[in-house]
Amino acid sequence: MFENLRMPVVGYLFSRYWNYRKDDILYTGLSLTHGNALGCTLTPALYRCIRAVFSAKFTKSRLWDITRKYGATSFSMLGGVAVGIYNEPPKPNDADNPVRHVVSAGMPRAIWADFEKRFDVKILEWYSTLEGGGLARKPPGKGPIGSFGKPVRMFEMRVVDENENPCPPNVPGEIIARFRVGRTAVNYFDNPEASEKKTRGGWNHTGDIAHVDENGWFFFDHRVGGGLRRSGDFIQPDTVEKVIGGHPDVSEVSVFGIPAASGAPGESDLVAGVVLFRGKEPDPTSLFECARKGLEANSVPSYLLLLEEIPKTISEKPQERFLRQAFEDRPECVYALVDSIKT
């Protein structure tokens, strides 16, 4: 539950954190039921009198045409959205757009630099949670690529182990955060026990796994229980998605895990859910060959799942439970690496 006061506070503060100017024109195609569209577009537009453009639905194929039509100078996006935009076939006018910076939450490290260069934009990366789990940002050109930045002044943020002791540099742990002044509170409707557990010890326990480097820059790793581990290695899905997404037939790709056939606890076999461009015929051998050329052997998916579309939430995040269900229910759409090699 949120107090109405949060809206103007978010509008005023976030617009400054995002470096918005009065002459900017903001754009989003994300749902207003999600905190990203509210914090990055709607509230700054309302409370700072900045012009903004909204689409009823996100479209990766028409994104740059929309920014040109309305003169949009900034838009917001999530990591899954970035991959979809990047996987669109390159066009000669990709860099011919009015956008000066993109406010991103979850820009995949594997495509970050190439995305900025191809579209001639700067990435302003940030991290927060809807219930108020701290706030960090990395302004364009500062800090290492892949980091979501450092906490803003009003928040203290740490990465801790299972005993809530601070983790050493480059050791993953859970992100916890709190206000530097005042009480940190999360209020779940009619559930005081959950509210208390969420903010035990005065810290908001986000459920997100991250690490901090030697210079204090934060890097997001995965949600609690959401890591992909294969043969002892943690696999970065964005790297796999970049390589397979570079195939000329591929429109979208989302990598997910299924329980490893080996039965090893905590291990996953990798599946790449793939959507082809309209009119393209399935060619799993070519797709697997693309993956094998661009990836280390342990990162090559064991299976391809060819789909008409990637199931997503209203905030454009791939829904792994539906992807896994499709893998089980549609064996005719599944192609195995071993079969491709034999072919």
26 phi and psi angles, rounded to 5 deg: -90, 155
Domain boundaries in the chain? 6-223, 229-342
Specify the pLDDT at position 339.
65
pLDDT of residue 332 exceeding 90:
yes
Query: What single string gives the DSSP state of each residue in 252-295?
Result: EEEEEEEE-TT--TT-EEEEEEEEEPTTPPP-HHHHHHHHHHHS
Q: Which of 98-107, 141-150, 225-234, 285-294 has the lowest mean pLDDT?
A: 225-234
- The strand pair at 101-105 and 204-212 is best described as unpaired
Mean pLDDT of the chain: 90
- Which of these, 309, 240, 233, 317, lies nearest to 271 by C-alpha position? 240
Amino acid 342: pLDDT: 47
**How far is it, in rounded angstroms, from Cα 227 to Cα 42?**
33
Residue 34 pLDDT greater than 70, yes or no: yes
Q: How far is CA 329 from the centre of its chain?
A: 27
Rg of the chain taking only CA atoms, in angstroms: 21
pLDDT at 315 over 80: no
- Backbone angle region of 83, left / alpha / beta, with phi > 0 → left and psi within -120 to 50 → alpha: alpha
Average pLDDT over residues 314-338: 90
Whole-number Å distance between alpha carbons of 188 and 209 = 22
User: Kindly report the CA angle at 288 between 286 and 292, in degrees rounded to 5?
Assistant: 115
pTM: 0.77
Q: What average pLDDT does the segment 298-319 reach?
A: 90
Q: Which CATH number fits domain 6-223: 3.40.47.40, 3.40.50.11890, 2.60.40.1180, 3.40.50.12780?
A: 3.40.50.12780
What per-residue confidence (pLDDT) applies to 224?
72
pLDDT one-digit tens code per residue, 127-157: 988 776 689 999 999 999 999 999 999 899 9
Tell me whether domains 6-223 and 229-342 share a fold. no
Token pair 């006018």 is found at 93
The fold adopted by the segment(s) 229-342 is GMP Synthetase; Chain A, domain 3 (3.30.300)
